[in-house]
Amino acid sequence: MSLARTGGAIARRRRGPLSEVLRPQEAIPRRTYLRILTTSAAALIAAWCVLTYGRLVAPLFLPSPTAVLATGVAMAQDGTLLQNAQASLLVIVTGWALAVLAGVPVGVLMGSFKAVEALIEPVIDFVRYLPVSALIPLLILYIGIGPAEKIAVIFIGTFFQLVLLVADVAAHVPHEQLDVAYTLGASRSQVIRRVLLPATLPGVMDTLRITMGWAWTYLVVAELVSADRGLGFMILDSMRGLFTDRIFVGLAVIGGLGLCFDLVFKWLHRVLLPWSPKA
């Protein structure tokens, strides 16, 4: 046994550090992970600096980091950046939360019961292929041009995809787990509450994280019509005046907020679902 361990250690040393971090589905040291992450971000910023400060790209098309930072600071000081961010956050979080409250139960039922799948899936499959932007005229006709119309855009863009993803997660719960529960005398409601739902929740949490990203991608579409504030409105308004630095500020804020949501979902996954393999 000691010879086998020694041979394995020698083989790992011969492979080198690069092969250690490129082994499929293997964890790497946290310090190495952070080092790679920092290097990636630094390389992107360095490339940006070379292209802008080296005059390789005109400022109209790619403003420099200092220009974007100065514009962002000025917009933060006069309050416009905060107002636009708050308006977009209200639309995104409300539309996404309504889609989650409605979509997760429907998805679990659809993935667990074939009768529900036969009843709902044709409608879900039909509507999810419709472009959300094509539905805006109808939403304006039915709802109006207020905040409710923007929330509806986020809801429609998120709900139908979320239902299918959650249904797929519920449908792939190992059937053996359900059979064991029935064998041990569990009732149907107990199997659903104590086996099916706990096994589905890790996948549902990943789905919530993914669909939050999708909700942000519909922001510009949601604020396309009759908006007077919001990050999407700010980007569109800056485009009309060719204020590229303001566009980059809006993109940076959207990316930063999205990253914060992503980190929160990862933290919630570890805290709330300790039985998940990802925890």
Pull the structure tokens for residue 87: 């308006």
Pull the structure tokens for residue 101: 């409250």
pLDDT at 10 over 50: no
| pLDDT interval class at 32 (50, 70, 90) | confident
Average pLDDT over residues 133-161: 88
Same domain, 40 and 131: no
Q: How far is CA 157 from CA 67, 93, 150, 163, in A?
A: 34, 13, 11, 11
Question: What is the C-alpha separation between 125 and 88, in angstroms, rounded?
Answer: 28
Question: What is the C-alpha separation between 279 and 274, in angstroms, rounded?
Answer: 5
State residue 187's pLDDT score. Answer: 83
| pLDDT interval class at 8 (50, 70, 90) | very low
Least trusted range by pLDDT, from 14-18, 149-153, 194-198 = 14-18
What's the number of CA atoms in the CB half-sphere (13 Å) around residue 29? Answer: 6
Same domain, 185 and 218: yes
pLDDT at 5 over 80: no
Domain membership of residue 246 (yes or no) is: yes
State residue 168's pLDDT score. Answer: 92
Domain that holds residue 34: 17-54
Same domain, 247 and 131: yes
Same domain, 132 and 216: yes
Domain membership of residue 1 (yes or no) is: no
Axis-axis angle for helices 244-272, 197-217 (nearest 10) = 170
Same domain, 28 and 160: no
Same domain, 29 and 156: no
Residue with tokens 């308004």: 237
Same domain, 153 and 210: yes
Domain membership of residue 60 (yes or no) is: no
- Predicted confidence (pLDDT) per residue in 258-268, tens digit: 999 999 998 99
What percent of the chain lies above the pLDDT cut of 90? 35
Instruction: Report the number of distinct structural domains present in the chain.
Output: 2
Domain membership of residue 278 (yes or no) is: no
Same domain, 23 and 71: no
pTM of this prediction?
A: 0.83
Residue 145: partners with Cβ closer than 8 Å, 6 or more residues away: 225, 226
State residue 182's pLDDT score. Answer: 82
Same domain, 160 and 194: yes
State residue 33's pLDDT score. Answer: 79
- Where residue 156 sits, what CATH number does that domain have? 1.10.3720.10
